[in-house]
Amino acid sequence: MSARDGPETRETPRAGQHHGRAATARARRWAAIGRDDFPLARVPEAARYPWWSVAVQRFGELSALSQLLLGATLGFHMTFWGAFWAITLGVVLLEVVAVLTGIAGQREGLSTYVLAQWTGLGRHGSSLFGLCTAVSLVGWFGVQNAIFAKGLAALAGTQVPLWVYCVLTGAAVTLIVIYGFSSMAWTSYITVPLFLALSAWAIRSALARHELADLLSMPPPGEPMSIAAGATLVAGGFIVGAVLTPDMTRYNRSAADVVKQTLVGVTLGEYTIGLTGVLLAHAVQSADVVHIVTTEVGVAGAAILVTATVKINDWNLYSASLALVNTVHQTTNRHVPRSAMTLAVGTAGTALSIAGILEHLIGFLTLLGIAFPPIAGIMIAEYYVVRRHRAVLERTRSAGSLPAQVEPPSLRPLLAWAGGVAAGYLIDAGIPAINALLGGLLAHVTLNRGKAAS
């Protein structure tokens, strides 16, 4: 195990019996295979990265087929400028959430799920949050893996069964994630420039046959959509990633790095890829991304585009593994190495892609745009407003340890979560994702007014 991974060995359960010693030995073997990446501990300063390295990965999460699909959907139902303002509203929400949760993660050096124990959710709430997150991310992994596999199958043009491609693509992403943040960073260094080149190529190809002024002024090809509805799609499409920002920013070196990375990664990703999709939808008069890609950029461009899906799916798998490591630790007091959990989650997600999850889970995953913002609201309210645990977090931060105590079980986190979800569903005015976030934030502040700080 590398020096970076060393501090985490303290969390392996003590082996008082033969079974315990065997479990510890297996855990060490798994940790030696990949990188544990501090799933239950603070990331030390020596293990952190320059802001641009993290920013490339943040942009990589948004430089995928799904983001181009979002832009094409907006373009099919909105004018260019209507889509621009919808993206702008969505970006503002995403950046506020990402910066506030991200700075908390950077300061404490903790993953979202561990940090959640001292930012409003407590031990049991954090476990439930981790489990819900893992379920959603395994689903997203299956969806993206199916897109990846179908794209490769279409490009190959052979009679090989689709499930073979699902296994190959799922295994490739799982292997990348087993070796952790550094491996994922190198993947982004390769795929992100290729995707940027593809976007420039696609726009140039489209503009060669259309006047830019026409694309900017033409009416939407499909049924019109309101700016509020478009902003909800933008926010909902990445809100889970924004809530889980601490998983990434715990590797940042300063709060300023978090802000720079968010402004560059999220803004560049949403506007560059999203508006590319809008223009292409107007040019081709379709929201079908596969049709758009094959029409505008051909086989080589489609290959780059499909391969870029790796850069969002590796983070789906990475965050899911962190979530489950935390949930298992909180419920059983055992530390399962992240590499072993990654293999299990990658296998499950690959199986879901083979089973056809792409056709059945989209509606459920859309609901996450309302289910997850209240969690961000609770964490932001606790860390910046209520501040019950800020003092003890600061006292233990310099030693690189965690507070010894977690607040006792309480219904308050669940009530605040439910209040935020209700606000997202029941309030007709505004943007549901914003309503849900503000509902969770206000509910947490109200429920914890006057509670003593630790």
CATH assignment of the domain containing 195: 1.10.4160.10
Q: What is the mean pLDDT of the chain?
A: 82
Tell me what the mean pLDDT of segment 241-250 comes to.
90
Q: In this structure, is residue 88 part of a structural domain?
A: yes
CA distances from 250 to 76, 245, 372, 452 (A): 38, 9, 20, 27
| Average pLDDT for 260-279 | 86
Per the structure, the count of domains in the chain is 1
Does residue 187 register a pLDDT over 90?
A: no
Let me know if residue 74 belongs to a domain: yes
Q: Does the structure show a pLDDT above 70 at 112?
A: yes
Q: Is residue 408 part of a domain?
A: no
Average pLDDT estimate for 268-284: 85
Give the pLDDT band of residue 12 (cuts 50, 70, 90). Answer: very low
Residue 266 Cα to chain centre, angstroms? 12
Task: State the Cα–Cα distance between residues 61 and 65, nearest whole angstrom.
Answer: 10
Structural domain contains residue 291:
yes
Distances (CA, A) of 121 to 89, 125, 137, 376, 401: 28, 5, 20, 11, 19
Beta carbons of 384 and 208 less than 8 angstroms apart: no
With 80 as the cut, is the pLDDT of residue 328 above it?
Answer: yes
Specify if 41 maps to a domain.
no
- Note whether 182 and 50 are within 8 A (CB): no
User: Could you tell me if residue 3 is inside a domain?
Assistant: no
- 322: domain range? 51-358
pLDDT digits (tens, 9 = 90+) for 120-173: 998 888 888 888 888 888 888 888 888 778 777 877 777 888 899 899 989 989
Tokens of 374: 């209240």
Whole-angstrom distance, CA of residue 282 vs CA of residue 261: 31
Q: Which pLDDT value is given to residue 31?
A: 47
Given a cut of 80, whether residue 452 has pLDDT beyond it is no
Q: What percent of the chain has pLDDT over 70?
A: 82
Domain-embedded: residue 366: no
Give pLDDT tens digits for 389-433. Answer: 999 999 999 888 999 888 788 899 999 999 999 998 898 877 787
Q: Per-residue pLDDT for 39 more than 80?
A: yes
Q: Does a structural domain hold residue 222?
A: yes
